[in-house]
Amino acid sequence: MRAYLVAGAALIGALLLAICLGSVPIAPGAALEIVGRKLIGADTTMFAPIDVTVLWAARVPRAVLGAVVGAGLGVAGCATQALVRNPIAEPYLLGLTYGAAAGAVAVLVTGFAPLGPMTASAAAFAGSMAAFTVVYLFARGEGTLSPLRLVLAGIAVTSGLQGIVIFLVRLADDPSTTASVLFWLFGSLADAKWSQLGLPAIVLAIIVIALVGQGRGLNALMLGDETAAGLGVRPGRLRLTLFLLIALLTGVLVALVGGIGFVGLVVPHAVRLLVGADHRRVLPLAALTGAAFLVLTDLAARTVIAPGELPIGVVTAVLGAPTFLWLVRRRARAEVGS
């Protein structure tokens, strides 16, 4: 319980920092009062108009979207590691990021936009689902999903899609297209809007509930298929369910904010050090921890080189790589000590 309270407090603190800090600093008291008044529809004319606009139209939806995406990536990372029984796996290992990038860049290069501004996001989601489908078809053998084949197929599909993306960028030979590719590969929350929050929040809530409900099965799956079967779990069926849930959750997230790596890798490791390996405890804490981590990472992305902004995936990689190495070393020491 203590870990949940700490993670919850960290998330609240991260959200408060995110809405207060920036090119237009806003005092915490004023920020909270503006948000509270906006939520109940009360008058906010006593505050500076720029503060109200910056806070409500930009920072609050961006911070909330960051929390939802971070929570989703943390949960998806836990599920992926159970799916392939590999502690260094994360959702993007299965080809989703480059699938989304290929779909979106294809739209940008061809100019085909039947859905208007939403076409790129729709194509990104379709591309990520297509990549997952190819990985699934190659990994499925004798009616079951093999963890090893999933990893190998994911690596192969990712490599192939990398080549397609580079080819499309060279074909376009346009600086704006290159900038768009960076968005889809490294992610950004800069275009967050209130209208974007509903779908990912609903998908996240449903999938977290579903995964926690399967917590016992996830625990058994980590012990191996034979052991899981002996405990009454059907490994093939559960692995397919996990695969579909991860695909849906990660596909929705990457279609909104692009590819953001390392969150799904680092967060599960950190959480397991705190509460052990039981997924019924790991998954909720991973959601809280991932949310706080990504909100703070996004804050760094938009303030480190202000008024410019870094792709958030660059920041998660810079912070995540040494953090992951430290976590691995700490886990190794703990295993030796035990």
Q: What is the largest CA-CA distance in the chain?
A: 68
Residues 313 and 265: their CA atoms lie apart, in Å, by 13
Which among 79, 90, 80, 70 is positioned nearest to 212, based on CA atoms? 79
CATH classification of the domain holding 88: 1.10.3470.10
Instruction: Give CA angle at 35 (34, 41), nearest 5°.
Output: 85
The whole domain housing 114 covers: 2-337
User: Where do the DSSP E strands lie in 129-170?
Assistant: 140-141, 144-145
Query: Is residue 87 within 8 Å of residue 273, measured between CB atoms?
Result: no
Per-residue pLDDT of the chain in tens (338 residues, 90 and over written 9): 788 999 999 999 999 999 999 888 999 999 999 999 999 999 999 999 999 999 999 999 999 999 999 999 999 999 988 888 877 778 877 888 788 888 888 887 777 777 777 788 888 888 888 988 888 888 876 666 777 888 888 889 989 988 888 888 787 777 777 777 777 778 899 889 999 899 999 999 999 999 999 999 999 988 888 888 888 888 888 988 998 898 889 888 988 898 888 899 889 988 988 898 899 999 999 999 999 999 999 999 999 888 888 889 889 988 878 877 887 777 667 666 65
Say what the pTM is: 0.90
Query: Is residue 26 within 8 Å of residue 53, measured between CB atoms?
Result: no
Identity of residue 70: G
3-state secondary structure 19-81: HHCCCCCCCHHHHHHHHHHHHHCCCCCCCCHHHHHHHHHHHHHHHHHHHHHHHHHHHHHHHHH
Residues 222 and 290: their CA atoms lie apart, in Å, by 22
Q: What is the pLDDT of residue 335?
A: 61
User: Helix axis angle, 235-257 relative to 119-139, nearest 10°?
Assistant: 160
Measured in residues, the chain has a length of: 338
Q: How far apart are the first and last CA of the chain?
A: 24
Identity of residue 14: A
Q: Residue 228 corresponds to which tokens in the numbers above? A: 């899981």
Identity of residue 154: G
Q: What is the pLDDT of residue 14?
A: 97
Query: Is residue 189 within 8 Å of residue 298, measured between CB atoms?
Result: yes
Which among 106, 134, 140, 142 is positioned nearest to 122, based on CA atoms? 106
Residues 17 and 302: their CA atoms lie apart, in Å, by 13
Residue 20 CB partners (closer than 8 Å, separation 6+): 26, 27, 28, 31
